[in-house]
A and B are shown apart, each in its own frame.
Chain A
């Protein structure tokens, strides 16, 4: 690459970054709340990534690309939302990937056995609910570490999925479940550049909105934040600690079931090995989005951005072509590290202040 083309690009990037930075630092909301810093940084990096991709490779800020970004990652967004609830309370849910596998294999088999497809969908979500309830009860009533409790339910769900079937289960081509992934063209742009929004994306966006309202506008949500700061304080303040702690795992499990629905609808099939490592992607999305892994601080909107950052990085690596796709995880890992270091910095500053 010659320096002549690189110069204006770089200038554009730095001036853009400066603009965003001054906007962010001037914003009243963010100045008030140091906890919002990592999320603001995630937003900034997302914008920088988009700009960089657009300038470098082109075709990023296009309706078609944006649509497919959401379509391909609806499941990740939903998983990240569920994970946010758990992490805010200071817990972790390692079972979501396996729950997706169990729930989708079970759902496809039920639908193919002639069960009403909508009942099959409800069962898929209910499977997640039950797995989450199990983990929640283990954590709360039996005082099992969240890591261990959800590790156990992770193995359980994966094993159950394998017992159901070890071969890909295909949905029948006329199954109503596939309708959830029907590509509704909202705006017909030139060529393939259409704004396409299937119900699965609407479900994902709705999940984020509802989660936002629950976390910020209900007592249950605020109890989750209080719980993440100090369980003892929350208890002594008379908040419903036990109920909330079980509930966050139920929410995470149910959303894993919902993620299974959207994923299965898009793929048209299910397999017992689906979703290996997805829990880690969800955790990465939450952490990149600025939620503290120790709990008590974070935003579900950040998790949405985190999921998009991961998705966009993968897309850019594919677009670039020169980066071996095998190294994708290294880049994701590096990003994760940068964000955790950023969080350390914020905590250190808050402690001083």
Chain B
């Protein structure tokens, strides 16, 4: 499709936050009937640019033209008026209200006495049906849906406003393959109706599948705009991260090299560990210096297993031995005392303390371990913060910046630092690379291997099977809250092996949502 006039033209946009220039003279344009992907590492300024376009942030300088008119957005309401609808990465809906109401909030159909719920829910049902969600009952509370389906509801909400510009900020990060296909169908439908779509994703395959045009940002600066067809992947990645792919490749080489003595005493041995409603009794052994991967679909019991192992939930059956001694893990504090550390998959709510600084976030666990009566001396704090900022390459390298001002990938590194500071024997990482860019991902993977090399036992949980296969020596495959296989990793094991294991275990392997 050739469209003469761009619907969105952002020119020379700059936004500063205290101490950082988040965007520095960035240009960005969108054409009707095109999917335009914004690429860049975490912290490159993608989110900031989106928030400038959707009225969340005010720009310091530059101009925004939407639909031929220059705009000064004071809030998201203004942007919606101008035809810009947004679906954020973190589902921003109200779980206490019904599905239909969430779709229609602010656009309810009025009847004789105020809002007519019948008509509103009917309109919501129609909007849901257009996105292939006809089986959702709009009168049910949103809170009863899985996060993935909530994300689809959020997208439905975006389409109700009949936008000329639809912004999708990492809409696929919590969707499975089928749901992604469903979403892409919807995106193509909207595109063909002339909607300009801004798409952000860390999944390169998805970017190449759906987008017509790509704009690359790095460190808040514009790096170029390309037609997808004219941009090959390695050029894209090296432009994004500003260095070549050697780092990424060296990881693959490392995989086979690790070896450690067989039959060493396991640091953790769990026998029949389980919890009603959480996961059926599961065995797990961890050797020092070993990375054990946990693979499975969302909701297969991965997080539940991790939480039992760490003591965040109490097991109601089974035993855990640490260094050969039986222990009862009643709380995370007990787990921490026994040298266990767990980094949560829910970075925003259970991980970071948004308003505290990087330094304070890093020392949190070690402080809890010492007890609050013995504060970590400031000098020690500075030393720890300094150390992990350097070794984990946390950017910006400022220990006193509130962690909420860091990008997702850097927040994840801070969390990693928090647990490393406790000097654990066993580190459980739950989705440490979700929603972060290739560069940060590679760094975190590198650290995992390094730590194992130093003798730490790691449990690595991830939805990205390639990553699990690349890092783990053994892989636990979970399905429907049950361990269905334990695969000894080797050259012949690939992501397909795991998929086949999950699919083959049971033929009615469909049904998510």
Residue ranges of A at the interface with B (Cβ–Cβ < 8 Å): 32-35, 213-214, 216-219, 222-223, 225-226, 228-230, 232-240, 296-297, 350, 352-353
Contacts and interface: CB of A to CB of B under 8 A. Distances in A.
Contacts of B105: 222-223, 226, 237, 239
* Residue of A213, A223, A236 most packed against chain B (CB within 10 A): A236
A240 B143 CA distance: 23
Interface stretch (B25-33, B88-96, B191-199, B408-416): B88-96
B77 A240 contact: yes
Contact of A236 (B92, B96, B277): B92
Nearest to B142: A229
Contact of B77 (A217, A238, A350): A238
Interface string B80-104: 1000001010001111110001000
12 contacts: A32-B140, A35-B96, A35-B141, A213-B113, A218-B114, A229-B94, A233-B92, A233-B93, A236-B56, A238-B75, A238-B106, A353-B144
A218 B96 contact: no
A82 B77 CA distance: 27
Interface string B324-336: 0000000000000
Nearest to A217: B114
Given A35-B96, A235-B76, A240-B77, A222 B56 contact: no
B150 to A, nearest CB: 11
Contact of A218 (B76, B115, B143, B157): B115
A230 B277 contact: no
A55 B56 CA distance: 61
- How many B residues touch the partner, as a band? 20 to 34
Contacts of B80: 238
Main SS class of interface, A: helix
A296 B96 CA distance: 6
A217 B75 CA distance: 25
Interface of B: 56, 75-77, 79-80, 86, 88, 92-97, 101, 105-106, 108, 113-115, 139-141, 143-144, 157, 277
Given A35-B141, A218-B114, A222-B105, A232 B92 contact: yes
A237 B277 contact: no
Given A34-B141, A238-B75, A352-B277, A217 B94 contact: no
Contacts of A214: 114
A236 B76 contact: yes
B108 A219 contact: yes
A119 to B, nearest CB: 31
A225 B113 contact: no
A233 B108 contact: no
Question: Which 4 residue pairs spanning A and B have beta carbons closest together?
Answer: A217-B114, A229-B94, A233-B92, A296-B96
B115 A217 contact: yes
A235 B79 CA distance: 12
Residue from A219, A233, A235, A238 whose CB has the most chain B CB atoms within 10 Å:
A238
Nearest to B143: A350
A222 B144 contact: no
B141 A33 contact: yes
A327 to B, nearest CB: 36
Contacts of A226: 94, 97, 105
Nearest to A233: B92
Given A34-B141, A237-B76, A225 B96 contact: yes
A32 B96 CA distance: 12
B88 to A, nearest CB: 6
Given A33-B141, A232-B92, A233-B92, A239 B97 contact: no
A230 B92 contact: yes
B115 A225 contact: no
B88 A236 contact: yes
B338 to A, nearest CB: 28
A287 to B, nearest CB: 17
B106 A228 contact: no
Contacts of A238: 75-77, 79-80, 106
Query: Of B101, B106, B139, which is in contact with the most chain A CB atoms at under 10 Å from its CB?
Result: B106
A230 B91 CA distance: 11
A236 B77 contact: no
Nearest to A352: B277
